[in-house]
Amino acid sequence: MIQIAIMGLGTVGTGVARVVAENSRQIERKLGEPLQVKTILVRHFKDGPYRQLMTDDFKKIEEDDSIRVVVETIGGVGAAYEYTKRALMAGKHVVTANKQLVAEKGCELLELAKKKNVNYLFEASVGGGIPVLHPLTQCMAANRIDEVYGILNGTTNYILTRMVRTGAFFADALREAQAKGYAEADPTADIEGIDAGRKTCILADLAFGHQVDPDKVPMEGISKLSLRDVKLAERAGYRIKLLGRAVRLPGGGRTAYVAPHLIPEDNPIAGVEDVFNAVVIRGNATGDVMFYGKGAGEMPTASACVADVMEALQASPRREEIGWSPDTDGFEDPAELHTRYYFRIEGSLTDAAMSFGQVEVLSEDGETAFLTDRISGLEVQQQAQNLKILACMRVLP
């Protein structure tokens, strides 16, 4: 019998306990022996099917040699960070879905796991139930990864879908998302791009092999997005999506950011709707490879966590290819990237042409909406400074 522990019994922690119980036969067949949740760390005891497994004393996990894997679903970087370090120091594998912890402390925790000859795995931290990190680090290991981008937050994608399908204003679509349980009471991390930004950092860390400081990654959300821009984009053959992008630059540097983008409707990612996520990995040998599915939720995320538990137990003795350098040199401002830009301005086509030269006009009814030629973000800042800008977004190449 293989014993594991869970830290935190929220949505994901409960899902992990359910997956272990409901899929016990398949798990046992693949591991060669049964897998059992022995202990669950909680802050407050509550009645339910797992009451007899609960403890509020981490030492009961830390000092129990029969517990081989700890699943961290606490969230944040406070107690989760402390307990993860202590579990690794105790020689236990740790599995997590905690994107903030991995983005900020992952490099350190991976190094500690290496020293203790155990695994620190976090497949569920980026795509929930979508397998992304494993293919990135193993299946595409023969590639130079040039770019990773995707729809990394289901809440914002649901809101944007409702704005397109029903013509709902942002505030109304957000309230609908909250009513359906897709958005938290405080949706800031989702709608301001913070959640997607943390996931983008993890993808960049693994794709390029160097630490990306989340504080240096610009994160723009959709809270200021106008329904008018959504309609104008759709009329012109584009869809607006919140994308996280990590890009290898021509000179060898790298960059990452999160922002709304206009995406051509013939791009497969433009058709990803509702709470679904999608990640595109561009390898120099494979070209574009897309991963699609539910990026969050109790059971999809728990599925990825339990798969990591199984992999940690089967790895001999650990996954060597998971990790990256703590060196942050080479990270550049995403304003260095060249792409087309969408503008909606209070002004005429003449104003647009005076700033950007030849442009593609999308609308001229009182306000002017247009697309520029390919240009860097730095040039945009310089050339648009005399315009009365109502909206500005990148266009996905």
| Residues classed as catalytic | 199
Q: Which residues contact 266 (CB under 8 A, 6 or more apart)?
A: none
- State the sign of the Cα–Cα–Cα–Cα dihedral 119, 130, 176, 159: positive
Q: Which residue in 95, 63, 86 sits closest to 318, CA to CA?
A: 95
334: DSSP letter: G
Phi, psi values for residue 183, rounded to 5°: -120, 145
Distance, CA of 359 to CA of 370 (rounded, Å): 6
H or E stretch at 191: helix 188-191
- For residue 244, what are its two tokens? 């996280």
In 3-state terms the chain splits into helix, strand, coil percentages (rounded to 5) of 40, 25, 35
CB atoms within 10 A of CB 328: 12
Residue whose C-alpha is closest to residue 110's, from 326, 260, 265: 326
Amino acid at 335: A
Q: 229 has which bridge partners?
A: none
Longest alpha-carbon distance in the chain: 74
CA 384 to chain centre: 31
CA pair distance 168, 154, nearest whole angstrom: 17
CB-based contact 370:359 (threshold 8 Å): yes
Residues whose CB is less than 8 angstroms from the CB of residue 222 and which lie 6 or more positions away in sequence, other chains included:
156, 159, 160, 170, 191, 193, 242, 260
133, two tokens: 């990190």
Q: How far is CA 342 from CA 218, 245, 262, in A?
A: 18, 18, 8
DSSP 261: E
Residues in the chain: 397
Burial of 357 (0-12, 13-18, 19+ CB in 10 A): exposed
